[in-house]
């Protein structure tokens, strides 16, 4: 008989112990705990209730630590698709495959897209040839729920960013931040995602100071975020360091880079941020 999910989360998975170690800067302890959970999960795979969900949470922890190969292995071995793990992994890798698009974007009507924020992650890879072949629809007829408005606003922002209409992208990303529901895990992660793209739009629009301001806001929320947002936070820090260097703030950039080097010291060698730090 399977183990009770609540008991598993408390006694076996316990992602927050990994999270707390990471927040405290104890990356070695975080990796050791994640590896312990992984070994137990594989050993008790057949007997574990809700095993896919547990594997997905573990994948988020590995992604936070920069261990992309471990994350990929969990996705493959456990079909770990909960908590939008494949989308997070694709965003961290900086690439979206044709298979990713086939899985996420089968519905082309905006109303059919999942309302959950990370179901929309792919919108920010709209420069892909695959995405360009999709007939996106952004015009609404009649009244909308906030979910529909949120989806459409993000879609408009993503399409504008793709097509170089940066002022329009900025306006819609700002509107999306206002629409996103407050005081929830959903909100924290959605805001992190939107702020990453808003900063990119500002930079492309020739407004580096505004891009820095957005990323500094994201940077300040490390201890007030959720484990699912950590990979986004790391990407934001890497972008912020790049912008500081471009603006001549080398000391600020170095501080961030040293922090990232420590947080990603066990990360895979092909992690994009680790490559950036060693280039």
* pLDDT digit string, tens, across residues 62-87: 999 999 999 999 989 998 877 778 77
Report the C-alpha gap between 256 and 243 in whole angstroms. 11
Give the gyration radius of the chain's Cα atoms: 19
* pLDDT digit string, tens, across residues 243-265: 999 999 999 999 999 999 999 99
What is residue 128's predicted lDDT score, i.e. its pLDDT? Answer: 66
* pLDDT digit string, tens, across residues 45-54: 877 778 888 8
What is residue 10's predicted lDDT score, i.e. its pLDDT? Answer: 44
What is residue 79's predicted lDDT score, i.e. its pLDDT? Answer: 86
Q: What is the mean pLDDT of residues 35-40?
A: 92
pLDDT of residue 123 exceeding 60: no
Q: Are 217 and 194 in contact (CB under 8 A)?
A: no
State pTM to two decimals: 0.85
Q: What is the mean pLDDT of residues 112-133?
A: 56
Report the C-alpha gap between 252 and 49 in whole angstroms. 47
* pLDDT digit string, tens, across residues 173-218: 999 888 876 655 566 777 888 899 999 999 999 999 999 999 999 9
What is residue 230's predicted lDDT score, i.e. its pLDDT? Answer: 87
Give one DSSP letter per residue of the chain, joined into a string: -PPPHHHHIIIII-HHHHHHHHHTT-HHHHHHHHHHHHHHHHHTTTT-TTHHHHHHHHHHHHHHTT-HHHHHHHHHHH---GGGHHHHHHHHHT---HHHHHHH-S--SGGGS-SSGGGGGGGGGTTSHHHHTS-------S---HHHHHHHHHHHHHHHHHTT-HHHHHHHHHHHHHHSPSSSHHHHHHHHHHHHHHHHHHHHTT-HHHHHHHHHHHHTTGGGS-GGGHHHHHHHHHHHHHHHHHTT-HHHHHHHHHHHHHHTTTS-TT-HHHHHHH-
* 61, 10, 22, 186: CA torsion to nearest 10: 60
* pLDDT digit string, tens, across residues 129-177: 666 766 666 666 667 777 778 778 888 888 888 889 999 999 999 998 8
* pLDDT digit string, tens, across residues 54-66: 898 899 899 999 9
Q: What is the mean pLDDT of residues 114-136?
A: 58
What is residue 110's predicted lDDT score, i.e. its pLDDT? Answer: 46
């Amino acid at each position: 008989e399977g183990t009770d999910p609540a008991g598993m989360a408390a006694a076996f998975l316990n992602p927050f112990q990994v999270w707390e170690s990471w927040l405290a800067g104890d990356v070695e302890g975080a990796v050791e705990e994640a590896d312990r959970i992984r070994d137990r999960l594989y050993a008790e795979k057949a007997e574990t209730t809700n095993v896919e969900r547990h594997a997905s949470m573990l994948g988020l922890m590995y992604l936070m630590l920069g261990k992309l190969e471990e994350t990929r292995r969990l996705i493959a071995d456990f079909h770990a698709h909960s908590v939008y793990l494949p989308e997070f992994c694709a965003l961290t890798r900086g690439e979206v495959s044709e298979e990713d698009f086939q899985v996420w974007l089968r519905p082309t009507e905006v109303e059919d897209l999942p309302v959950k924020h990370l179901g929309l992650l792919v919108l920010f890879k709209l420069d892909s040839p695959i995405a360009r072949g999709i007939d996106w629809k952004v015009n609404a007829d009649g009244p909308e729920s906030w979910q529909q408005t949120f989806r459409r606003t993000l879609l408009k922002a993503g399409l504008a960013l793709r097509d170089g209409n940066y002022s329009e992208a900025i306006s819609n990303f700002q509107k999306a931040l206002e629409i996103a529901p407050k005081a929830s895990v959903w909100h924290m992660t959605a805001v992190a995602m939107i702020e990453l793209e808003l900063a990119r739009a500002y930079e492309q629009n020739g407004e580096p100071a505004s891009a820095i301001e957005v990323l500094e806001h994201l940077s300040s929320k490390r201890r007030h975020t959720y484990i699912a947002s950590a990979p986004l936070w790391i990407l934001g820090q890497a972008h912020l360091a790049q912008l500081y260097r471009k603006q001549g703030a080398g000391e600020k950039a170095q501080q961030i880079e040293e922090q990232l080097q420590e947080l990603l010291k066990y990360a895979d060698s092909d992690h994009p941020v680790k490559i950036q730090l060693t280039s």
